[in-house]
Structure 1
Amino acid sequence: MTTAKAAATTTNGTAEKEPSFYDEEDNLKKLCDFLRSREGPGVREALFMEKRVHYLKGEKLVNFLVEPKKGTKWPSNLPRFESRPEAIAVCRELCKVQYVMRAEKRGKGELGTSRIREFDESGYFLWVYEGDKTVSHLMTTALIIGFLFCVCFPIWPTFLRVFVWYLSVSLLLFIFFLITVRAFVFLCFWIVGFEVWFLPNLFDETLSFADSFKPICSFEPTKPGQLPYRLGVGIAFFSFCYWAVTQPSEFDGFVNAQGDFLKDLYAGTLLSDMSQEQKENIDKPKRQSLDDLLKSLDTDINNNDFQDEVSEEEKLESMLDNLVDDEEDIDEEEE
């Protein structure tokens, strides 16, 4: 088995230590790639100068180098460490080349700069080494292409737009269903005196994506002093359940309404009943065609003619009324 250091015999018979395998920067990078992989030691996340970083304690790093955790697959191209001094020497080299940097804890989930730069097992060290950025560049490129792809949504084929709509609606309903089930399970157990959460860290923004699903479930007794609240909520909850069971007609109507709601949601007619043609042309400027303009012009002319005819009839009627009034006045004078 190869080790980090080896001994060589000189011509005069004295033992002389050869340079360490990790003195070469390429070999040191290989070690860092292994330590930063899933097989490496566990790390925690914290904020350092408003940036999220991974850190671990120096003692934990040394222990891992000397005695890796059970089931760890140590790379065949890297020598093992036989003693703690060898591991500490390599850790000091990591600090020297600034692959790791010492920091101080300032609070929960927050790190600050440290005046001490040398490696110490009692200190905290954050990872500066990022390794090969090829995967990161590929992901950034994919993100940009995906953004452009989403921007061109109006020119997508119809079947693809329908697929995205169905996928989005299904994901939204799944999230709503998951939140509702979590709250319902918590309420049922909380009433009887226990706090049970399914995926308790699901909405914790301080954790990574994988850690958000750990643990699967948490089970703890409720805090003292909550008995009156639990009794009140329990009475209200079971009263509502009794009302729902004893009102089958209204409950059936509620179920049918939810079914219609889902149908409208998937059909895209929840907010509007516009025709498909109007939906497709919703962003286009609305301009009247030549036929519509001619029809509107004819309508205006007819309206004007009708108004002229009405005005002439009104004039004739007013003249006749005046004549009748004059004749009545003359007859009254003669009498």
Structure 2
Amino acid sequence: MSFYEDEENLKLLCNFLRSSEGPAVREGLLMDKRVHYLKGEKLVNFMVEPKPGTKWPSNLPRFESRQDAIAVCKELCNLHFILRCEKRGKGELGMIRMRDFDEAGYFTWIYEGDMTQSHMMTAALVIGFLCCVCFPIWPSFLRVFVWYLSVSFLLFIFLLITIRALLFLFVWMVGWEFWFLPNLFDESLGFTDSFKPVISCEPTLPGQLPYRLGVGIAFFSFCYWAVTQPSEFDGFVAAQGDFLKDLYAGTLLSDMSQEDKENIDKPKMQSLDDLLKGLDEEIDKEDLPGDLEDEDNLDSLLDNLLDVEEDIDEEEE
């Protein structure tokens, strides 16, 4: 295999083996660092006979024998593209002295491939973080643009989820489980795989007929009620329109003072003056005679106060 004697060609092979088309790997911890590892036998088997559906690169020659694949794996060990280790527990790896390739051993990938894209993504992440931190000093038109873009994206996600749910409900009531973008919210998949397949349609499980009939009756009953109550439905539509206008204009909190807006995330605590004032009011209430609770006694007390005031005025004259 003279082709793989060149280190650059070995890097091309490693790029393919480390891609999604390469052999399956597992995650483990080696010296408190998360790594990908696989068994030497599986690596050799894949190089000699790849799994069905694998697209072998046209610029890489195929391995004709198992000995050729083992020789290349030994060269990968010598160049420290892969590192031999031992499996100590579930997901735990350890270092060993032996460095030679052996099909029975476990090997950790040290080669990380071309890091240009990774560095660019890291730089973009740092720049994006700095831009978000400096958002208050952005020009006004940029802040308005970001606000409109964020609100539009939020509404798009909400509409997408609603449409997916309604489509599933309609088709499920007739006996099929239909999903548009079924893997959209699968966290175990990558960005591209989340959009595959576009649709999925399978028959419902047996025994769901009563539930489907019940949901169908409830749904169509609600639709009939909405149609026969045009005034309430029109009010609902108008309220949603006002909500969208306030959302885009950023005036949902317009009925609050600026101080309340600034302190919206702060706990509501009374000041010392407010506490003392409230305490004085409670003391004053306790000092009043209990007869004041009666309306008649209160009227008589007011009359007495007026009489005393008149007597004082007469004496002064």
Normalising TM by the smaller chain, what interval?
Answer: 0.5 to 0.7
Three-state SS of the structure 1 residue aligned to 2:49 is helix
The question of whether the paired residues in 2 share the 8 Å contact of 1:190 and 1:222 is answered with yes
Classify 1:85/1:149 alpha carbon distance in 2 versus 1 (closer, same or farther; 3 Å).
same
Over the matched positions of the two proteins, sequence identity in percent amounts to 62
Aligned partner of 2:170: which letter? Answer: C
The question of whether the paired residues in 2 share the 8 Å contact of 1:194 and 1:219 is answered with yes
For each residue in 1:64-92, what CA deviation from the matched residue of structure 2 results, as whole angstroms up to 9, or x when unmatched?
A: 49x9956x5522xx555344432343245
Classify 1:175/1:194 alpha carbon distance in 2 versus 1 (closer, same or farther; 3 Å).
same
The question of whether the paired residues in 2 share the 8 Å contact of 1:33 and 1:131 is answered with yes
2:183 maps to what in 1? 201
Output the CA distance in 1 between the equivalents of 2:35 and 2:146: 33
Output the CA distance in 1 between the equivalents of 2:164 and 2:315: 89
Gaps of 5+ in 2: 264-306
Give 1:249 shift.
2.1
Three-state SS of the structure 2 residue aligned to 1:202 is coil
Give 1:246 shift.
2.0
Give 1:320 shift.
7.0
Classify 1:185/1:176 alpha carbon distance in 2 versus 1 (closer, same or farther; 3 Å).
same
Output the CA distance in 1 between the equivalents of 2:53 and 2:183: 28
2:46 maps to what in 1? 60
Give 1:61 shift.
3.8
Aligned partner of 2:234: which letter? Answer: D
Output the CA distance in 1 between the equivalents of 2:35 and 2:198: 25
2:312 maps to what in 1? 322
| Matching of residues 59-208 of structure 1 within 5 Å | 59-64=45-50, 69=54, 73-75=57-59, 78-94=60-76, 97=79, 99-100=81-82, 113=93, 118=101, 120=103, 127-208=109-190
Q: Normalization by structure 1: what TM-score?
A: 0.64
The question of whether the paired residues in 1 share the 8 Å contact of 2:181 and 2:196 is answered with yes
Q: Is residue 2:234 matched to residue 1:240?
A: no
Three-state SS of the structure 2 residue aligned to 1:197 is strand
The question of whether the paired residues in 1 share the 8 Å contact of 2:48 and 2:64 is answered with no
Three-state SS of the structure 2 residue aligned to 1:141 is helix
Aligned partner of 2:49: which letter? Answer: N
The question of whether the paired residues in 1 share the 8 Å contact of 2:182 and 2:199 is answered with yes
The question of whether the paired residues in 2 share the 8 Å contact of 1:182 and 1:198 is answered with yes
Classify 1:53/1:194 alpha carbon distance in 2 versus 1 (closer, same or farther; 3 Å).
farther
Over aligned residue pairs, what C-alpha RMSD do you find? 4.1
The question of whether the paired residues in 2 share the 8 Å contact of 1:104 and 1:111 is answered with no
| Matching of residues 245-264 of structure 1 within 5 Å | 245-264=227-246
Output the CA distance in 1 between the equivalents of 2:227 and 2:25: 49
Q: Normalization by structure 2: what TM-score?
A: 0.67
For each residue in 1:147-175, what CA deviation from the matched residue of structure 2 results, as whole angstroms up to 9, or x when unmatched?
A: 01110000000000000000000110011
Give 1:198 shift.
1.3
Classify 1:198/1:323 alpha carbon distance in 2 versus 1 (closer, same or farther; 3 Å).
closer
Name the larger-Rg structure: 1
Aligned mate of 1:32, from 3, 6, 14? 14
Output the CA distance in 2 between the equivalents of 1:145 and 1:203: 27
Classify 1:131/1:238 alpha carbon distance in 2 versus 1 (closer, same or farther; 3 Å).
same
Output the CA distance in 2 between the equivalents of 1:153 and 1:223: 51
The question of whether the paired residues in 1 share the 8 Å contact of 2:28 and 2:37 is answered with no
Give 1:227 shift.
2.3
Give 1:27 shift.
3.1
